Amino acid sequence: MTGPRFMALSALSFAVMAACVKVAGETGIPLLQIIAVRAVISIGLSYISIRKAGAALLGHHRVLLFARGLVGFLALTCVFYALLNLPLALATLLQYLHPIFTALLAWLFLRETPDRSTLICVALSLCGLLTILWPMISSSATQDAPFFAVMMGLAGAFGSALAYTIVRKLARHEHPDVIVIYFPLVCLPGTVLLGGHDFVVPSVAGLIALLGVGIFAQLGQLTLTRAMALDKASRAVSLSYLQIVFAAVIGATYFGEYPDVYTLLGSAFVLLGAAIVFRDRTPTTASSGSD
Buried b (16+ CB within 10 A) or exposed e, 96-117: bbbbbbbbebbbebbebebbeb
Q: What is the pLDDT of residues 217-274, one digit of tens each?
A: 889 888 887 887 777 766 666 667 777 778 878 888 877 777 778 878 887 887 788 7
Report pLDDT for 236: 66
Q: What is the pLDDT of residues 96-124, one digit of tens each?
A: 777 778 878 888 887 778 778 778 887 88
CB atoms within 10 A of CB 137: 9
Could you give the C-alpha distances from 180 to 155, 173, 251, in angstroms and in order?
21, 13, 28
Radius of gyration of the chain (CA): 18
Residue 287: pLDDT over 60: no
Q: How confident is the model at residue 136 (pLDDT cuts 50, 70, 90)?
A: low
Report pLDDT for 105: 85
Q: How confident is the model at residue 137 (pLDDT cuts 50, 70, 90)?
A: low
Give dist(CA 120, CA 9) in Å, integer.
Answer: 21
Question: Which of 150, 157, 156, 155 is CA-nearest to residue 102?
Answer: 157
Question: Which of 48, 20, 52, 71 is CA-nearest to residue 182?
Answer: 71
Mean pLDDT, range 139-161, rounded to an integer: 76
Alpha helices in the chain (DSSP H): 3-26, 31-53, 62-85, 88-95, 98-109, 116-137, 147-171, 176-195, 204-230, 233-238, 242-254, 261-279
- Top-confidence residue, 290 or 210: 210
Residue 289: pLDDT over 60: no
Q: Phi-psi category of 54—alpha, beta or left, where left has phi over 0 and alpha has psi -120 to 50?
A: left
Q: What is the pLDDT of residues 21-77, one digit of tens each?
A: 989 988 999 988 998 988 898 899 889 988 888 888 888 888 999 999 999 889 988
Sign of torsion over alpha carbons 148, 149, 155, 158: negative
Whether 56 and 181 have beta carbons less than 8 Å apart is answered as: no
Residue 285: pLDDT over 90: no
Please report the DSSP string for 190-208 in residue order.
HHHHHHGGG-----HHHHH
Q: What is the pLDDT of residues 170-198, one digit of tens each?
A: 887 888 888 888 888 988 898 888 877 88
Q: How many CA atoms, within 13 angstroms, populate the side-chain half-sphere of residue 80?
A: 27
Report pLDDT for 144: 55
Residue 10: pLDDT over 60: yes
